[in-house]
Amino acid sequence: MYTEKVLDHFSNPRNMGELEDANGVGMVGNAKCGDIMQMFIKVNDDGIIEDVSFKTFGCGAAIATSSMATELIKGKTVDEALQLSNSAVVEALEGLPPAKLHCSVLAEEAVKAAVENYRENLGKATV
Ligand code: FES
């Protein structure tokens, strides 16, 4: 029921852990299942996401989707990262069971929350 890609990202997650020099951190949760996802981004002066990592306290699909999301936004601009949809993450994983689609929504929201936090920090820095 899970694709090879999902199993691969679940058993061998990419970019897992905290990013010490992150300048954007987002945390989101799903009230129903109680899962929590944290996304860390390091954006350079050109607005490019140089580095990204995640920490997920949640189900296997949440771990796989957050891992894939980090791969999809690494090297992209923050604007491009904001365009990342949960369906793009699911597509990159070659599918998720319908009951697990909400886990991919968490990944999309975590990326958006990290970018928002980065922009807030940027605003504070220039005041
Ligand atoms: Fe809630 Fe997967 S079961 S994020």
* pLDDT 10s digits, 10-69: 999 999 999 999 999 999 999 999 999 999 999 999 999 999 999 999 999 999 999 999
Residue carrying structure tokens 């306290």: 57
pTM for this predicted structure: 0.95
CA triple 114-116-120, angle to 5 deg: 115
Residue 65's closest CA among 106, 18, 36?
Answer: 106
Decide: 17 and 52 in contact? Cβ < 8 Å.
no
- What is the CB < 6 Å shell around ligand 1? 30, 33, 35, 58-59, 61-62, 100, 102-103, 106
pLDDT of res. 126: 62
pLDDT score for 123: 85
Instruction: Please report the atom of ligand 1 found closest to the CA of residue 100.
Output: 2
User: Strand pairing partners for 56?
Assistant: 37
